[in-house]
Structure 1
Amino acid sequence: MNTISERIKFAMKVRNKKQIEIVRDTGISKGAFSSYLSGQYNPKLDKLQLIADSLAVDVKWLNGENVPMQTPTQKTDTLPQYVFYNNECTEYLLDDLHDVYIGMMNEHSALIPRFYVLVNRSMNEMHILPMFFKKDSSKFYECPSEFFNTDSHSIFTKDFDSIHMVLETSIVYYYGIDNETHKPRITELTYSQTERCYQTTTKQNISAIPEFLKELKKESLYLKQNAQ
């Protein structure tokens, strides 16, 4: 997510601000702001500063620089931590019924790649594979507890509409590692409309994504070898 338009869109999601609100705050015309969002034109620095002020983010970050999203004087605990799906991954693309994304987590005001995410639109299924090459990847071995909490599952589901997922009938497969046995473990989650959160289901034969499963087994083998 390196372009100005992408960062404006992300900040709008984080701040839950609509285009009309930014137009009102900044005095920028709707047509001009639409051209910024589409990437057709980049705003000049004075306009970019107005947008940054409206979104309460650092103008340097908005301009694509490798700095925190918020300035040092801003409170970072006001930024919600959630997964932003970046459609730039084709490594695991299977056919035209699938979309593949990089799951970017907002951590300490920066976007960190954390997951490979494959969406099977025809089945309303999502497959999530942690990026195991990260130094702190072990904290993602277990299926995130947020899925099982009514108030927290939005960390993963907030942008479902934009990736063609329907929350109420969705199924999620999380590719994790058993912390005790170091064996691969795929957790199937189905959304409960009555509980308004996900629940685990027992399924003997999960149709795993072969490429995801291969990465899972590699990480499992690595852990076993280092445990000896």
Structure 2
Amino acid sequence: MLNSKIVAVSNAKGGVGKSLNALMLAIRAAEKQKKVLLIGAEHDGAFAPNSPKFKIENLDVISDVARDPDFAKKIGLYRQQYDLIVVDLPGNNLTIEHAELDGFAEKMIKNILVKSDLVVIPIEPSEDSVRKTYSFIKNLHGLAKATRRKINQLILPTNTKKGNVISEQVLNAIDKFPVPKAVKPIRASEDLKKAFAKRQGVWTFKQGALVNNDLTPVHNQIFEILGINE
């Protein structure tokens, strides 16, 4: 499709909510009548063939592409078939110092990052997450410079708790990061985790779930950045 967009959900640290937020974004777009492809790029990750099945109209899911040597070529073909492609990338500690691509997994990740229209970077409330996220952003800037590509980024605080000291420290720290921040942090929510386990949007799983007050404006922000209209 002419206006097809790719969103990569990525960070150097695992366990920050990449898969969860990739799914919620994909479902939201599918419910807006966009044809969506959700790609699980992590071997045996959250969207592996043995994971819970999806029954969502307009949403297709493929996984385990990290072992597919032709995937970099296929992503161009997918763009002709879908309005939005959401890629859940594995947590990685890439050192992107130059344009050399050493190792297939690293090559696959870098290819997706440079082809993405937006990289969403979830970050959880922990000092380790702040450190690794900052390093990841620095490396993304290095990759953009080496490949002469613009890599749009958006920081997405996840699993935050109002009044929690660590959450507040993390939110203050990422204000200093040299990339835009999501309009709202995503609060810690058992409803969100349960909805993810059932492969549903949390707004469907539980009407009135407070976390939807966070997700809705963030999703709208992402769609605005991508130029995805209703």
More strand by share: 1
Q: Is the TM-score greater than 0.5?
A: no
Q: What TM-score, normalized to structure 1? A: 0.29
Q: With CA pairs under 8 Å and 6+ residues apart, which has the higher RCO, 1 or 2? A: 2
Question: Which structure: larger Rg?
Answer: 1
More helix by share: 2
